[in-house]
Amino acid sequence: MAIPEHVYDNTRMSEGDPRSIRTMTAVQNAAVQLLETAGWDSVHVKGICQCAGISRSTFYQHFQEPWQPITRHLQEAFAREFPSLLDGTAHLEPEELLLSGKPLSFPLFVHMESCRSIYVPVFADLRGGMIRQHLVEQITQLSRAHHEPLRRISPHRVDADLVARYLAGGLVAAAGWWILQEPRDTPAAMAYWFSRIAAPGLLQTMGLDSLLAE
Amino acid sequence: MAIPEHVYDNTRMSEGDPRSIRTMTAVQNAAVQLLETAGWDSVHVKGICQCAGISRSTFYQHFQEPWQPITRHLQEAFAREFPSLLDGTAHLEPEELLLSGKPLSFPLFVHMESCRSIYVPVFADLRGGMIRQHLVEQITQLSRAHHEPLRRISPHRVDADLVARYLAGGLVAAAGWWILQEPRDTPAAMAYWFSRIAAPGLLQTMGLDSLLAE
């Protein structure tokens, strides 16, 4: 599925401008704080502008919808936590991708645990739906990129987009269940569970059964 | 994850009232027709009311949001196509659930193909996000219910909600990719692919590897 361009284009001003960055940060912090303390009812453009001390037109210079600053905040948090996964410097080995103690799902579960106060309302309420969709898109791209080493050694052609979407959709839905539990398993336990469920069928379909051996 | 009650409670009037049913049908048809012919920009309460020949207050007696009549239309179409899957009269055998020619995903792919003119805009545009989320919720319930025979014979306890959510999230994301392809595989081919990817890890985790033998 082609990702509509506007999905990732939620910044219109130059990102390099320090004043613009300060405003973006203020808007993001305001939206997140409103969600965490007062819930979805308070996450609207008017409330975000009041909380951030900006005008409506300034908001619309940076974002189109009130959920977008929250998505942006989560993206930036993930980028700070796991920069090497996004800048292409992470070198994941095929053997580690799906079945080691640290598959690709592990940093995603860690990130969700660290931002749990945001993810709980995102997953507990239908109004978090757009953020969840956005998350599926982002994880699809991440999964597609990081599973390239598997495709390189696979004797079968399996559509990379289809697999990445399946994994991202399953991961976000499972993570949304997990993050609402109290008490709940650790991120490492969830990553282990996710690999046990997802890896065998995927590796068999790719003709990489040998990676499944202990 | 607890499903917020309002997810399924998008009808407020008595469902038995023939006039109410006629209005509901008119609203649903109007919303679907607008989406199919004019796209998301035209799917708003005002446009739906004009197209259906009803007042805004009548719309709000039945629905809260403009995407809800579309979801309702899709639910009813699925219920007409596969009534036994919803009324509990389908008796699926464990052996057939995940790996036979007709796993549970098969009717879902058939349904999406039959309603493709609606599902294409639902998956091609971020504005279909709420309908996609709703679809994940519905398929989670369906999957949970129909995989009960597997849980009954499983020697391991695997959380039924977690598994159902994972499968539903993966299925909807994969189906969303598939339905936008042109040309694309048949529903039967997709169901086969889905089972090959999803079944091995799931059955192994449930201690039901024996079902995986040819």
DSSP per position, B25-83: HHHHHHHHHHHHHH-GGG-SHHHHHHHHT--HHHHHHH-SSTTHHHHHHHHHHHHHH-H
Using the beta-carbon criterion (under 8 Å), do B166 and A173 form an inter-chain contact? Answer: yes
Smallest Cα–Cα separation from B62: which of B6, B118, B20, B106?
B20
- What residues does each domain of chain A span? 5-62, 82-212
Average pLDDT, chain B: 88
Chain B residue set in contact with A, beta carbons under 8 Å = 1-2, 4, 6-7, 123-126, 129-130, 132-134, 136, 140, 161-163, 165-174, 176-178, 180, 193-194, 196-202, 204-205
Whole-number pLDDT of residue B94: 67
Smallest Cα–Cα separation from B99: which of B201, B194, B207, B168?
B194
pLDDT beyond 50 at B13: no
CA–CA distances in Å: residue B84 to residues A83, B102, B104, B147, B168? 49, 14, 12, 15, 19
CA–CA distances in Å: residue B136 to residues A124, B143, B181? 14, 10, 21
Q: What is the mean pLDDT of the segment spanning B118-144?
A: 94
For A143-167, the pLDDT digits (tens) are 998 888 888 889 988 899 999 999 9
DSSP assigned state of B3: P
Q: What's the distance, Cα to Cα, between the start and end of chain B in Å?
A: 35
Whole-number pLDDT of residue B11: 45
Whole-number pLDDT of residue A180: 97
In CATH, the number for domain A82-212 is 1.10.357.10
Q: How far apart are CA B63 and CA B92, in angstroms?
A: 34
pLDDT beyond 80 at A98: no
> Does domain A5-62 correspond to CATH entry 1.10.10.60?
yes
ipTM of the complex: 0.88
Q: How far apart are CA B175 and CA B198, in angstroms?
A: 14
CA torsion through residues B53, B55, B56, B62, sign: negative
